[in-house]
Every structure is written in structure tokens, then in C-alpha cells.
């Protein structure tokens, strides 16, 4: 986009924002935004964003994430920015009930009311937004086949990880060539299905008549926002076949030493992890939710299981270990199905086309 527009990135301060500045070569401005419901801090964020937009006078403001959405879209509306775009990449409110759900529903509707266009990053999300009457259908559009950013299949490729790299990492993590390795990549929190995953794996590995398996967890624990059950934490700590390596900036080596992704999340927009795993030639076991059930086609590049169903999750993990022909068929399709539908350049060009149409005053 910086080849076509002057870009300013706005987010909370921190090393990640500095990395974006350096890696993308764009100007960035830090505005503190809390991930929680914090009315006083949010008003301060809103005012800071409004002043920034009045000063810069952008043609387009494009927001991502719920908090940046409400702050950015309201501020852009107040500042009379002509094109106010919001990408919906998942709805945390799906798992919320009671008064908090009512508050989040109101915030979501206010975000969409303030936006001129809303881009759900999956067809399932678009249907959910229409069903719950968050906004009118004319404001909605899914870019390409879905996802917010597509996938760079030249970067996420098995060829990018050498045999020597894999051997060193396997030795470090005490993984044998004969182990069947399941991998999860993401935040280790309740609504990612980690409690069910740990339960399923614990049952699975008690079967001594099958190939030994390992569970590789790549991601950080978030105790404050959505803590795991105490029994889950205890199992992660004490089970020698569960390997937790924390957050990793480059996840490709971990995919490269794994055999299948397990991603039993409760809610998603359009998960990059599932596309990344596919590009790395891994079949996936995913839950039947938005995004996941659009990337994975049942029994072609993976399998889809009901949400929060630990028993079914265990059964599908076991099938991948035991049925070699089935597993190889899924593996063979995994990368090709990502290349054909979600290549990053296709998504980027579709979004660039969208921006140009808006600037030139054309409709969708």
C-alpha cells in the first residue's frame, strides 16, 4: 500500500509498533488503547485519535480489532474522514453473555454505524453480522475468498526450513522422528479450546497400542484475560509429551517438525494459523466455526469437529495417527488448497482495488 498511498500506522506503544515501523518502512504514531472495557482511558484514546485525524486529514481510515475499531471509527466520523473502513476479524462477544454482551453489542453497532464500509474477513462472519442486525448488508463485503491479509506461500513453505534446522530443534525439544507431532499455535487461553485440547491429548496418549505422539504448544499464556483451568495448567506442566515453547516470532520451524495442526478454537474471524499450517503442508483438525470451516474442506485438507467436543477431537487425532493413507491424502492437498485460494498477493490487490474505487468515488 505504501507504493500507492502515504501510510501512517496507529496502535498502542511498544516494541511491536517499532518493529512495524522498521520492517514496513512506514510512519507510526503511538496512541494508548486498552484491550479491556475502560471508559476513561477509551475517551482519552478517542480524543487523541480525533486530534491526530484533524491534523493529518486522511482520505481513508482503516481499523482492525474491536477496540481500535470503536476508537478509530468514532474519531474518523467526528473528524469527517470520507472513507471509514473497518475489518472484522473475529467477534469476542460471541462467547459473552449478560450485561457485558449487551455492552459489546452496542459498541459493535456503534462501530459499524460510524464506518462507511465494513469488511468481515469470512463469509460466516458476514452472515453472523447480518443475522444479529449489527449493520445493513449494503455496508458489508468480504475481500477475495476471505482473510485479512492472505498468506505469503513463498515465506510459509517447507523449503524455508532446512533439514539441519529441523534436526537441531527436534533434539532440543526431545522429539523423535518416530513421534507423531500435533501442533497448536496461538494464545494459550480458554476460548482457543486449549482445555479441550489438553484433555483430548491426555486421553489419546494413554493408548499404548499406537504410535507415540507429542503435543507442541506455541504461544503465550494469558492469565488475566482468559485463564486456563488449573487442571489444564497442571497437565501442561507435568505431561512430558506436552511441549510448551511460549511465543515464537517465527513459527515455521515448529510447523516443519510437526505432522498436523490442531486448532479447536471457540471463535475466529479468519485464522492465519490454519492457512500457515496448510502452506507448510500440514493438514488441520479445526472446530466448526467461522473461518476455520472455510479454509478446511472436510476430508480434503483436514477435518472439522464440533466446538468444545473433547471426545471427537481425540477421535480425529487418533485417526490421523492410525490411518496412514487418510493422513497422507490430507497432507498432499494441504498446501495446494491454500495456494489456490488465499495467496497474499491476491488479497492485497483486491484491497488495493477497493481503496482505488473508493477514492475515485465508484461503488462496490
Please write the tens of the pLDDT for every residue from 85-102: 999 987 877 777 898 889
Indicate whether 83 belongs to any domain.
Answer: yes
Using CA atoms, how far apart are residues 35 and 275, in angstroms rounded to an integer? Answer: 26
Structural domain total, the chain: 2
Q: Are residues 279 and 333 in the same domain?
A: yes
What is the pLDDT at residue 136? 92
Residue 11 corresponds to which cell in the numbers above? 496502535
Length of the chain (residues)? 364
Indicate whether 123 belongs to any domain.
Answer: yes
Question: Which secondary structure element, helix H or strand E, spans residue 16, and what is its range?
Answer: helix 15-24
- In sequence order, what are the residues at sequence separation of 6 or more whose Cβ sits closer than 8 angstroms to the Cβ of residue 306? 287, 288, 312
Residue 279 corresponds to which cell in the numbers above? 502452506
Residue 194 corresponds to which cell in the numbers above? 486449549
Phi, psi of 125 (to 5 degrees): -65, -40
Indicate whether 1 belongs to any domain.
Answer: no
- HEC letters along 196-217: HHHHHHHHHCCCCCCCCEEEEE
Q: Are residues 245 and 143 in the same domain?
A: no
Q: What pTM did the predictor assign?
A: 0.76
Q: Are residues 117 and 219 in the same domain?
A: no
Does residue 225 have a pLDDT over 80? no
Determine the straight-line distance between the first and last CA of the chain, rounded to whole angstroms: 19
Using CA atoms, how far apart are residues 320 and 274, in angstroms rounded to an integer? Answer: 17
Indicate whether 17 belongs to any domain.
Answer: yes
Using CA atoms, how far apart are residues 281 and 257, in angstroms rounded to an integer? Answer: 11
The strands making up 60-64's β-sheet, listed across from edge to edge, are 60-64, 83-88, 117-120
Q: Are residues 109 and 241 in the same domain?
A: no
Q: Are residues 162 and 143 in the same domain?
A: no
- Closest C-alpha to 260, from 315, 303, 297: 303
Residue pLDDT, tens place only, 226-258: 889 999 999 999 999 999 999 999 999 999 999
- Mean pLDDT value across residues 66-76: 95
What are the start-end ranges of the E strands in the chain? 8-11, 27-30, 60-64, 83-88, 117-120, 180-185, 213-218, 242-244, 260-263, 284-287, 302-305
Nearest 5 degrees, angle CA 328-CA 334-CA 340?
Answer: 145
- Mean pLDDT value across residues 171-195: 96
Dihedral sign, CA of 72, 78, 81, 86?
positive
Give me the CATH number covering residue 204.
3.40.50.2000
- Mean pLDDT value across residues 299-317: 97
Provide the domain limits for residue 79: 8-150+345-359
Dihedral sign, CA of 199, 205, 210, 213?
positive
What is the pLDDT at residue 364? 42
Does residue 209 have a pLDDT over 70? no
Count of Cβ atoms closer than 10 Å to residue 218 Cβ: 21
Q: Are residues 286 and 351 in the same domain?
A: no
The overall average pLDDT reported for the chain is 93
Are the C-beta atoms of residues 21 and 28 closer than 8 Å to each other? yes
Amino acid at each position: 500500500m505504501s507504493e500507492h498511498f502515504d501510510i501512517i500506522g496507529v496502535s498502542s506503544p511498544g516494541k511491536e509498533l517499532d518493529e512495524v515501523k522498521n520492517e514496513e518502512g512506514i510512519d507510526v504514531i503511538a496512541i494508548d488503547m486498552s484491550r479491556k472495557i475502560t471508559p476513561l482511558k477509551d475517551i482519552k484514546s478517542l480524543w487523541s485519535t480525533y486530534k491526530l485525524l484533524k491534523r493529518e486529514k486522511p482520505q481513508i481510515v482503516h481499523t482492525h480489532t474491536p477496540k481500535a475499531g470503536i476508537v478509530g471509527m468514532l474519531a474518523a466520523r467526528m473528524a469527517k474522514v470520507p472513507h471509514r473502513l473497518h475489518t472484522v476479524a473475529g467477534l469476542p462477544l460471541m462467547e459473552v453473555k449478560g450485561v457485558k454482551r449487551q455492552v459489546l453489542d452496542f459498541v459493535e453497532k456503534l462501530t459499524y454505524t460510524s464506518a462507511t464500509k465494513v469488511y468481515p474477513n469470512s463469509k460466516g462472519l458476514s452472515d453472523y453480522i447480518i443475522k444479529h442486525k449489527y449493520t445493513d448488508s449494503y455496508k458489508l463485503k468480504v475481500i477475495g475468498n476471505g482473510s485479512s491479509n492472505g498468506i505469503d506461500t513463498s515465506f510459509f513453505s517447507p523449503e524455508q526450513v532446512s533439514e539441519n534446522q529441523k534436526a537441531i530443534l527436534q533434539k532440543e525439544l526431545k522429539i523423535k522422528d518416530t513421534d507423531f507431532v500435533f501442533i497448536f499455535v496461538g494464545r494459550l487461553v480458554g476460548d482457543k479450546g486449549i482445555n479441550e485440547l489438553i484433555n483430548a491429548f491426555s486421553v489419546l496418549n494413554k493408548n499404548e497400542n499406537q504410535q507415540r505422539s507429542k503435543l507442541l504448544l506455541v504461544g503465550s499464556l494469558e492469565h488475566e484475560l482468559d485463564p486456563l483451568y488449573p487442571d489444564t495448567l497442571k497437565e501442561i506442566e507435568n505431561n512430558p509429551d506436552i511441549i510448551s515453547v511460549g511465543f515464537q516470532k517465527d513459527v515455521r520451524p515448529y510447523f516443519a517438525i510437526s505432522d498436523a495442526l490442531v486448532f479447536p478454537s471457540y471463535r475466529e474471524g479468519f485464522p492465519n494459523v490454519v492457512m500457515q499450517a496448510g502452506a507448510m503442508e500440514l493438514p488441520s483438525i479445526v472446530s466448526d466455526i467461522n473461518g476455520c470451516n472455510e479454509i478446511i474442506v472436510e476430508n480434503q485438507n483436514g477435518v472439522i469437529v464440533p466446538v468444545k467436543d473433547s471426545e471427537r477431537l481425540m477421535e480425529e487425532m487418533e485417526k490421523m495417527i492410525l490411518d496412514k493413507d487418510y493422513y497422507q491424502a490430507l497432507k498432499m492437498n494441504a498446501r495446494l488448497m491454500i495456494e489456490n485460494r488465499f495467496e497474499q498477493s491476491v488479497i492485497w490487490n483486491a484491497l488495493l482495488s477497493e481503496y482505488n474505487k473508493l477514492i475515485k468515488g465508484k461503488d462496490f
